[in-house]
Amino acid sequence: MAYANPNILPESASTFEGGTHTWVTTGGNTTLAVVSGQFLSGTQSLRATPTAAGSIEAISPRWAVTAGKEYVCRLPLRTSAATTGRTITARITWFDDPTGGSSLGVSDAALNVSNQSGWFSANYPVSIGTAPVGAQSATLKMTVTGLAAGEYVNTDDVHAGEAKLLTGNLLGFNVQSVEKDTSGYIAANATLARTSAILETGAGFYALGATSVASGEVSVSTASFTTVTAGVEYVAYALVNSSTATVTSKLELQWYNSSDTLISQETRSYTATQNVTTRLTVVGKAPSGAVKCKVYILPQATAASQVFTIEQVTLAVAPNVAGNLLSYDEYSTESSLPSWTVTNTSQARAFLTSGVTDGYYAVQLTPVATGLISMSLDRLVPTSPGVAYQLQAVCWRRVPTSVSATSAFRTRIDWYDSGGGLFQSDNPDQFYPKTSSEMWLSHITSETRTCPEGASYARVVLEIDHSSSVIDAYFIDNVKLVESTPEYELVTSDEAGVVTLTVNSIDTSAETVTIRRMDENGEAVPVRGYGAEYVNLPYAQTVLLIEDYEAPLSTKVWYAIEWFGPGGVQATRLFTQTITTPVLDDPDYVWFKSPGLPAMNTRVLMENPISWARAARSSTYEIVGRRNPVHITGTRGGRTSSLSLLIWDEPSHELFNSLLDSGLPSLIQAMPGYGVHGNLYLSVGDVESEPVSGSASEPGWRWTVAVSEIDRPSGGLQGSASATWQDIYDNYETWFDVFDAHESWVTVLTEG
């Protein structure tokens, strides 16, 4: 199919393969019949024979149209004899009713029929027109004049459909495709003609042929101005094929003011290899004072009679992401390779199209060796302190053979001061790995960061963990830096002994969510939510608040959030940056926590290091007649101890007492190097308490607590250590005040 749009006409009006037709004659001098053996496609065609010398006229059935849309109709013609003086016209007539009504006008395309017989592409008129206001239907009329007695014509493969403009094209379909004629162009040092050529599937049947008059620059430009807006970026494309020589060809945007005076131009140069279709691209921002523009295609002819075929000419507002602080070429590499500094790789502008990238080009990275690949935009991007920004990019990786490979990609933002000096290096989010044996695999990765006070610029940095040597190339596209809400917020509180994670990203397609704490050794532990652990918990498409009271003290951790859709299929994931967990300012103290009731958590002083006992479970039996007893093996029991704890203030004493009252498992956390490695989960047995001073009037208690080590208990949280009911009572007079201030319980917990 040469047109990208579908044919609206039924078989009986287009290819006639059913042996019947739905065309009607007009003018009284035409006979129509479906015949075999004189076809353009299939096996049949529609023959029109004049009753007497003169003209034939036939009209297609109506088809529905939409006012304001542009339509294209192609009417192939076969002549039975080689004679002169014949003209063929394809006329679209617009009507204000689906079946009857009045004509609202016509759109014509007329050709002088060449002096030869048979199917000849030069004899195929193409009519292009826009359905006027009020139009509801249209017909296609075929008229051929100058037929001698005994002559006839055939038509086949008739097409009527919407004129498919390339996305955003501000030029008309005939300028883009040259299907009808060359009226959309003017030339210098060249002659122009509509030529039968298909440079790209779906572009149509014709293209613009420019034949050089002499050596030197051939100038082919759009005949009419296109309105533009100063300060807006535009992108132009053109397909060029040089059939006689390899030449240099330029694509240029020329900007004009309201007086048609040239202000400036934006130009890109390319090598147009002989008989290879080359896509030329130029991107430019309309300068101050510009109100109109023309597109120039400028092949550099090396001799007279060189033929350049041109098609798919496009001028569009550059489809950059709204609010992107990067230029369109920095976003999409469409017309030039931006200035990137790369490490462990070479870089080039390369052809790439996909469903998740923009345009036709991307940055190709070819690794030098395994290890970290980095690309950093040389231009510093102005930013504002206190504003959050999202940096996102698409990365495709290519494996030339069908072997499994893991690729990992991430983005990062470094901050610079007003003088261009490094102000703060990013602590980036984790790499997002993917493993597949497919040749092509894409990553869409982002991070958000808030510009710190004192910073004036952002440096855009993209990183790839190139650990797999079988990956031969990466392709980067759709790089955007935009103002954004933080994807997440990660805060450590030493006072409360908690890491708080607020996930602002919302996946509207997800049904469940899993959240895990990841340590530096790769160990993953599910975090507790309210009422249950975050392991495939039902997801309500809302902000998530996680209070992690079990993060081991003074270590580095990060969090993995994974959303899952129907059937448990992974939808999206979010990996945070690394954060240092809470610390105790006095390492002689430990946190004594209730994993499920964080409001009971308190700090206590360890009077002595922990001494452990482990009871034996093996036994020996004396056997009559044997010298030595028989040993029966059993796994030794877990650790048990008696802890001596000191508490010096009344509130902590009451809190600790309440924790023991609950009867729930407990957690001890100590600073690294102080006798407790990581998290120590305990079952608490008998306890004793006595005043330290021997006087009931002086605060200070010694608790003796019998404990046994246990595995980490399951279950969720009840309540919070940072927000309690007392806070609600203190801050609000009535429940209506709470409801007016908050939309959900999440905001009650996060805002108080």
Nearest to 225 by CA among 293, 179, 133, 300: 293
- Let me know whether 361 and 267 are in one domain: no
Both tokens of 172, joined, read 């008309």
- Let me know whether 149 and 282 are in one domain: no
Q: Is the pLDDT of residue 744 over 70?
A: no
Q: Is the pLDDT of residue 276 over 90?
A: yes
Q: Cα–Cα distance between 413 and 430 in angstroms, integer? A: 13
CATH of the domain at 552: 2.60.40
- Give the residue carrying structure tokens 């270590």: 555
- Let me know whether 562 and 492 are in one domain: yes
Residue where a domain terminates, one of 460, 483, 506: 483
At residue 657, the 3 state secondary structure works out as helix
Task: Please give the average per-residue pLDDT across 203-227, as a whole number.
Answer: 96
- Let me know whether 360 and 441 are in one domain: yes
Q: Is the Cα dihedral 477, 482, 488, 489 positive or negative?
A: positive
Would residue 563 count as lying in a domain? yes
**Residue 515 exposure: Cα atoms within 13 Å on the Cβ side:** 25
Both tokens of 107, joined, read 């759109």
Tens-digit pLDDT profile for residues 231-262: 999 999 999 999 999 999 999 999 999 999 99
pLDDT exceeding 90 applies to what percent of the chain? 81
If one counts the domains in the chain, the total is 5
Residue where a domain terminates, one of 483, 517, 545: 483
pLDDT at site 723 = 66
What one-character DSSP code corresponds to residue 533? B
Q: Cα–Cα distance between 165 and 171 in angstroms, integer? A: 8
Task: Please give the average per-residue pLDDT across 529-547, as a whole number.
Answer: 93
- Let me know whether 469 and 336 are in one domain: yes
Tens-digit pLDDT profile for residues 87-126: 999 999 999 999 999 999 999 999 888 888 899 888 899 9
pLDDT band at 127 (very low <50, low <70, confident <90, very high): very high
CA 708 to chain centre: 52
Q: Is the pLDDT of residue 84 over 60?
A: yes
pLDDT band at 685 (very low <50, low <70, confident <90, very high): very high
H helices of 53-144, where?
none
Q: Is the pLDDT of residue 746 over 60?
A: no
Q: Is the pLDDT of residue 697 over 80?
A: no
For residues 280 and 237, the answer to whether their CB atoms sit within 8 Å is yes
Helix or strand (DSSP H, E) at 34 = strand 30-36
Task: Please give the average per-residue pLDDT across 467-493, as a whole number.
Answer: 97
Do β-strands 457-466 and 432-436 pair in parallel, antiparallel, or remain unpaired? unpaired
For residues 680 and 669, the answer to whether their CB atoms sit within 8 Å is yes
What one-character DSSP code corresponds to residue 696? T
- Let me know whether 223 and 334 are in one domain: no
**Residue 516 exposure: Cα atoms within 13 Å on the Cβ side:** 13
pLDDT at site 473 = 97
CA 212 to chain centre: 43
- Domain containing 271 equals 173-317
- Let me know whether 478 and 338 are in one domain: yes
Measuring CA to CA, how many Å separate 321 from each of 170, 287, 317, 483?
A: 19, 20, 11, 11
- Let me know whether 493 and 478 are in one domain: no
Tens-digit pLDDT profile for residues 360-398: 999 999 999 999 999 999 999 999 999 999 999 999 999
- Let me know whether 617 and 661 are in one domain: yes
Q: Considering the chain, what is the average pLDDT of its residues?
A: 93
Q: Is the pLDDT of residue 1 over 70?
A: no
Would residue 237 count as lying in a domain? yes
CATH of the domain at 223: 2.60.120.260
CATH of the domain at 697: 2.40.30
For residues 669 and 552, the answer to whether their CB atoms sit within 8 Å is yes
- Let me know whether 178 and 135 are in one domain: no
Task: Please give the average per-residue pLDDT across 484-505, as a whole number.
Answer: 96
H helices of 250-382, where?
328-332
Cβ neighbour number for residue 558 with a 10 Å cutoff: 19
Would residue 2 count as lying in a domain? no
Q: Cα–Cα distance between 98 and 100 in angstroms, integer? A: 6
pLDDT at site 724 = 66
pLDDT band at 434 (very low <50, low <70, confident <90, very high): very high
Would residue 696 count as lying in a domain? yes
Tens-digit pLDDT profile for residues 587-636: 999 999 999 999 889 999 999 999 999 988 888 889 998 999 988 888 88
- Let me know whether 193 and 293 are in one domain: yes
Task: Please give the average per-residue pLDDT across 144-164, as a whole number.
Answer: 94
Would residue 3 count as lying in a domain? no
Q: Is the pLDDT of residue 719 over 80?
A: no
Nearest to 123 by CA among 194, 175, 54, 48: 194
Would residue 136 count as lying in a domain? yes
- Let me know whether 61 and 205 are in one domain: no
Would residue 281 count as lying in a domain? yes
pTM above 0.85, yes or no: yes
Would residue 748 count as lying in a domain? no
Residue where a domain terminates, one of 536, 558, 580: 580
pLDDT at site 726 = 72
